[in-house]
Structure 1
Amino acid sequence: MRLLVLGGTEFVGRAVVEEGVARGWKVTVFNRGTHEAPDGVTALRGDRGAPDGLEALRHGEWDVVVDTWSWAPTAVRDAAELLAPRAASYVYVSSRSVYEYPVPVGADESAPLVEGSPDDAEYRDRIADYARVKAGGELAAVRAFGDRALLARAGLILGPYENIGRLPWWLNRIARGGDVLAPGPAELKLQFIDARDLAIWMLDAAARQVGGAFNVTSPVGHTTMRGLLEACVRVTGSSARLRWAEPDPILAAGVQPWQDLPVWVPPGELYEFLHRTNVDKALGEGLRCRPVEETVADTWAWLRSIPGDAPQRADRPAVGLDPKVEESLLSGGA
């Protein structure tokens, strides 16, 4: 199989490339070259935001194209239109954020979407406009490839190479030891997808020429807040003590769920959207999710293998709780 990854050096793109190489596929990456390409691949250079930036893609044929783009949809449009005559399948790594919020519990891929356009060349704010640009990217992929477009609407993504900082923050905080504020309820059910499981599923489905939209994250209750944080304690070998606190005092202190305490969202409308996703369609198409312990252990092993801090995307704010706020909450009886 011939695989082209648009990107391919960071997080999800890196996981896709490594999975393709492990399968013995002929893997090509296309990017600006700001990060070194993984071993065993052919590297093409170009800037999707520049005039003639796709010149390196004007020749060649591929069985599967994987696109991880998260900015202006015109970049997806231009790449997809250029590649449509020479590629069998186009996989666009989308997001569940494309659904019109709030999403009814149990809703599937047919739920209403936010408005987007494949011809949208601008975005004002990377976070505020995320849903719109992802929706536009989906439309661009479908317009060029039709039913050969596979839309992977991923949920929370964790695992090695994470450049958002969610699981790395928890691992590093717990590794420091001491009392750790653990946001409850402890048995709060979580959904996430390991980037490697996302990569495996996308390549398997694309190789079978599966098309259409899929919610791609773990089944509801794949783990819990307790399961995630206790796994962090075990794999780091830390003497940290988890001090469980109910949501109300945490929120009253001005702590921002998801941002200050990554992964965690208290029970409510946003929690239902993030952690009670219908994934029946993806499960029926072969999605399998590894245990949380494996994701946590492999992420910790990766963190220890790299010099310095974990990579951080420049377009995303750093996550994590201010130590002074944590200390204040813990001393207040959390």
Structure 2
Amino acid sequence: MNILVIGGTRFIGRHFVDLARARGHAITLFNRGKTNADLYPDVETIQGDRDKQGDLDQLRGRTWDAVLDTCGYIPRHVTMLAETLRDAVNQFAFISTISVYADPVQEGADEDAPLKTLDDATTEEVTGETYGGLKVLCERAADVIMPGRVVHIRPGLVVGSYDPTDRFTYWVDRIAKGGDVLVPGVASRRVQFIHAADLGAFMLRLIEDRVMGVYNAVNPTTPIHWGEWMESTKRATGSDAQFTWVSDEFLQTHNVTGAELPFWVPAPHDGVLGVSNQRAIERGLTSLSIDQVVAETLAWSRSRPADHVWKAGLSAQREAELLAKWRAN
């Protein structure tokens, strides 16, 4: 198949491109050439900015079996792309997010759950508050222009090599170091994530099978909880870590943020990490084991420069201070 990828050189897009090429598909990239520009010297790359119609016009007069949009965050941008490719592709695959669901999300919610709305539907400022609502409008923009030809993939937290956020990587690295590890909430709380390779494989399957519709792309394929995740990570890293579970209330009182404790979503909002993936499983979604995800992530993390600046996670000092206060509580 001939597949046009918008983006394609960082994290999710990179995993997809690697898998698609390994399966013999012809890839064309469209991006600004600002991230890993030399990653695929033998792949056709059309350099351009999706916010400039003149750049998008470079795509006219060509045809592809499908387009994968890895970086659509603003409805206007999705509209421009879809209108440009209306007669050029058979399928529009759009990477959305489980953040489209209206809060609080009920555990087990499926793809028909209520969606977020924005107070200002004209905003183009992407923030933590507008991100999900903007993705809802992006989905609708694609559907309006290509009715019946769009597949929306709604991932949860995506993990694995090349992850620029450090969210999952923080936990792998922290547990590997051992010692007393501060963990939020309770061990029985649901958690979900998906390795970028599993996500890439699922998206490629949807494109190869010409599947349309909406799918929650979250793993593991069987439900797990924080306790299982932490213990699996400890086992996979050969660590001597000991876990201290600290309540949501304590963490909120001490102004701990989700950036400091990635994946921590306090009740009653924690259902967002327990949505249904049954529809995706029926369409072929598979998952690496937690041990495999941890091992792959740890190996990649250790390959990075020693002076890597972490974008998520507690500092050692902050963690020690919180643990001391918790024990004195």
TM-score w.r.t. the length of structure 1 is 0.88
Letter in 1 for 2:49: D
Letter in 1 for 2:19: E
**Paired residue for 2:145?**
144
Structure 1 CA distance, aligned partners of 2:56 and 2:302?
36
**Paired residue for 2:200?**
199
Letter in 2 for 1:290: L
CA contact (8 A) 1:219 1:277 kept: no
**Paired residue for 1:11?**
11
Equivalent residue of 1:250, what SS?
Answer: helix
Number of residues of Structure 1 aligned to a counterpart in Structure 2: 324
Q: Tell me, which stretches of 5 or more residues in structure 1 are unaligned?
A: 313-317
Letter in 2 for 1:65: V
CA contact (8 A) 2:91 2:210 kept: yes
Give 1:69's match in structure 2, choosing from 52, 68, 71: 71
Q: What does 1:124-135 correspond to in 2, within 5 Å? A: 124-135=125-136
Give 1:103's match in structure 2, choosing from 102, 105, 122: 105
Inter-CA distance 54–308: structure 2 relative to 1 (3 Å threshold) = farther
Equivalent residue of 1:33, what SS?
Answer: coil
**Paired residue for 2:156?**
155
**Paired residue for 1:301?**
299
Q: Which moved more, 1:155-164 or 1:233-242?
A: 233-242
CA contact (8 A) 2:107 2:273 kept: no
**Paired residue for 2:218?**
217
Structure 1 CA distance, aligned partners of 2:141 and 2:53?
19
Q: Tell me, which stretches of 5 or more residues in structure 2 are unaligned?
A: none
Structure 2 CA distance, aligned partners of 1:206 and 1:75?
22
Q: What does 1:158-237 correspond to in 2, within 5 Å? A: 158-218=159-219, 222-237=223-238
**Paired residue for 1:20?**
20
Inter-CA distance 116–196: structure 2 relative to 1 (3 Å threshold) = farther
Inter-CA distance 52–108: structure 2 relative to 1 (3 Å threshold) = same
Letter in 1 for 2:68: V
Deviation at 1:181, TM superposition (A): 1.1
Structure 2 CA distance, aligned partners of 1:219 and 1:8?
24
**Paired residue for 2:114?**
112
Q: What does 1:73-84 correspond to in 2, within 5 Å? A: 73-84=75-86
Q: Do residues 330 (structure 1) and 328 (structure 2) align?
A: no
Deviation at 1:47, TM superposition (A): 0.8
Structure 1 CA distance, aligned partners of 2:29 and 2:208?
18
CA contact (8 A) 2:63 2:89 kept: yes
CA contact (8 A) 1:265 1:271 kept: yes
Structure 2 CA distance, aligned partners of 1:310 and 1:51?
37
Letter in 1 for 2:319: E
CA contact (8 A) 1:69 1:76 kept: no
Equivalent residue of 1:269, what SS?
Answer: coil
Structure 1 CA distance, aligned partners of 2:106 and 2:303?
42
TM-score w.r.t. the length of structure 2 is 0.89
Letter in 1 for 2:67: V
CA contact (8 A) 2:105 2:269 kept: no
RMSD, matched Cα: 2.5
Structure 1 CA distance, aligned partners of 2:2 and 2:286?
24
Deviation at 1:121, TM superposition (A): 6.6
Deviation at 1:238, TM superposition (A): 4.0
